[in-house]
Structure 1
Amino acid sequence: MSDGPVNEAELDWTDHEHGDRTFRRKQLGDAAGGEQLGASLYAVPPGKRLWVRHYHEGNEEAIFVQSGTGTLRLGPDAEEHALEPGDYVALPAGEESAHEIEAGDSELRLLMVSTMDEPDITVYPDRDMVGLYAGSPPGGEKADRTLSTYLDITAEKEYWDE
């Protein structure tokens, strides 16, 4: 339960740096006591990218551009769309919402929201990989997860094999 409003200026940034995927994040939803809806503020430096292109099978996401410009690669064919302040993008669960974001010539600041349902399967089409999450959804508290793993998308085992 929230004790009232949370001001983003009072929250610390969490830095993420993985090659050209460099960004800062403030988890607003968690700080405010959100349980079924996540919200994060992201700052992506010029020319850098956010998360690896992905989509969720069980959760919906949305993007609101606060400042800066960038490129959204969307859908199974990674069709490019320009992003600018005031743009809003709905990303329902499923392959049509596969997305990746890259900042333009200045810092790109985004508010991203998502449902926080679990279990969830996240698909990474460019890496032929899936992420499986239970106990806590992607973006949720990692310590609460009972399952959190990444697998090759073709990983299979016969049901009756021992």
Structure 2
Amino acid sequence: MEKTNEATVDWKTYDPDETTFRRKELSSAVDAADLGCSLYELSPGMCSWPYHYHTANEEALYVLAGKGKLKAETGLVELTAGDYVTLPANESGGHRVLNDSEEPLRYLAISTMNEPDVTVYPEMDKFGVFVGSPPGGRGERTLEGYYHIDDETEYWEE
């Protein structure tokens, strides 16, 4: 058994434009190998990671405080404290969290930590490949990168 308290885990700030949020990697604090868990805090008017879905990792969100919206494959879904949302490892699990309120939004993001994983970003026409350690993983990756969906190459070089 491993134990930590979120008060002892440092915040990491991500700040590319409207995708500004703070994150505490709780699973890293206890060296969890197969389960990821992070505490997120979004300030008013901010968003989480760009809209995406995973092909190998299921995720879930549990809202601790505040309110906002989840951009999902089916449209915008209201989020309030106490809500629990599951996000399958396929296109129907597409998601992005938005804080359109006047107060901070705090939630837990929990995920399986399977690899390899391909993460698809439909609105950016990109995908990411992660081999050796999953997205959010702490291990060394043997292959990783982001690519445009429309890029094409031949299997056999001519």
Q: 1:148, 1:46 → 2: CA distance?
A: 32
Correspondence for 2:157: 161
Please report how far the alpha carbon of residue 148 of structure 1 lies from its aligned counterpart in structure 2 after TM superposition: 1.4
Partner deviation per Cα, 1:40-74 (whole Å, 9 max, x = no partner): 00010011000000000111000000001001110
**2:120 is aligned with 1:123:** yes
Correspondence for 1:93: 89
5+ unaligned residues in a row in structure 1: which ranges?
Answer: none
Q: 1:47, 1:86 → 2: CA distance?
A: 21
The percent identity for this pair of structures is 46
Correspondence for 1:18: 16
Q: 1:150, 1:105 → 2: CA distance?
A: 34
Correspondence for 1:63: 61
Correspondence for 1:140: 137
5+ unaligned residues in a row in structure 2: which ranges?
Answer: none
The residue type paired with residue 153 of structure 1 is: I
Please report how far the alpha carbon of residue 5 of structure 1 lies from its aligned counterpart in structure 2 after TM superposition: 1.2
Please report how far the alpha carbon of residue 156 of structure 1 lies from its aligned counterpart in structure 2 after TM superposition: 1.8
Correspondence for 1:73: 71
Q: Secondary structure at the match of 1:81?
A: strand
- Aligned counterparts, 1:36-47, within 5 A: 36-47=34-45
Cα-Cα RMSD: 1.1
Please report how far the alpha carbon of residue 158 of structure 1 lies from its aligned counterpart in structure 2 after TM superposition: 1.2
Runs of 4+ in structure 1 deviating by more than 6 angstroms, as ranges, are none
Q: 1:150, 1:36 → 2: CA distance?
A: 23
